[in-house]
Amino acid sequence: MNPVYRRDLQPFINDFQKLKNFENLFKQSKYSDSVIKTVIFDLGRVIVNIDKAKRSEKLVKNSGKSAEFIEEYLGDFSPVVKEFGKGRITPRQFYEKVSHELNLKMGLNEFKASWCNIFALNDGVADIIKKLKKENYRLVLLSNVDVWHWEYIKNKFNVLDEFDDYALSYRLGCMKPNPFIFLDALKKSKTSPWNCMYFDDIARFIYVARLFGIKSFQYKSVEKLIKDLKNTNVLSKTL
């Protein structure tokens, strides 16, 4: 194991090893019975692309902070963003914390619009999701996402309606790589880990999913996604 990953993931690995019902996940099926039945997708930088440049520009104009400070303070894994992504603070509390720290001259609604207006649909991935759905694969979304981003994306991009279920950090109170969010996704997959595929753009999340026995692949491009699906005899059925 990569020593950096081990250091970052060790607390979660310890919890993972203590899960009382862990073995029950695997008793239903042998690894050899590995026909894919459920495909699990990450959201950001997989189904939707992210461009924070306009948001940063607007926040700089409406605060007393530099772009570098804002980008670090509002990074994906910064403390305040993680708390919001876990649903541990309300949208108003999130706004108030950010507004105070950045000395923002923006009201809540204006800030919310800037916070959310960073997404664009990855059309190639969306098309593949629709093909998988037509072939009756079960689809589960597994995402570190806050309530504002989720509501914005869900309302704007109807490809999210193709999914059968959602494992979302703000609803569960934990974020990847915590194993409990993966357990929730597996529960919603309605099958064994061996019969699931998972796609995420972050390598360490792929590593955790593989601990569960999920066939997991790092998303890098639509072309690689298609290749991975073909190599597991999934996409060939849809063409």
Which tens digits make up the pLDDT trace of 104-117?
A: 999 999 999 999 99
Query: What's the rounded mean pLDDT across residues 193-197?
Result: 95
Report how far apart, in Å, the C-alpha atoms of 7 and of each of 13, 118, 180 are. 10, 32, 18
Residues of the chain with CATH 3.40.50.1000: 3-48+120-238
**CATH number assigned to the domain with residue range 3-48+120-238, chosen from the 4 options 3.30.1490.270, 2.170.270.10, 3.40.50.1000, 3.40.50.920:** 3.40.50.1000
Weakest mean pLDDT among 178-182, 215-219, 234-238: 234-238
pTM of the model: 0.86
| pLDDT above 80 for 186 | yes
Residues of the chain with CATH 1.10.150: 52-117
Query: DSSP class of residue 89?
Result: S
Sheet holding 165-168, edge to edge: 165-168, 138-143, 38-41, 196-200, 215-218
Element containing residue 69 per DSSP (H, E)? helix 67-73
Mean pLDDT for the chain? 89
Query: For position 4, what pLDDT does the model report?
Result: 43
Query: What's the rounded mean pLDDT across residues 181-194?
Result: 96
> What would the DSSP string read from start to end of 120-165?
EE-HHHHHHHHHHHHTT-EEEEEE---HHHHHHHHHH-GGGGG-SE
Question: Is residue 64 very low, low, confident or very high in pLDDT (cuts 50, 70, 90)?
Answer: confident
150 touches 170 (CB < 8 A): yes
Query: For position 231, what pLDDT does the model report?
Result: 92
Query: What's the rounded mean pLDDT across residues 81-95?
Result: 98
The highest-level CATH class for domain 52-117 is: mainly alpha
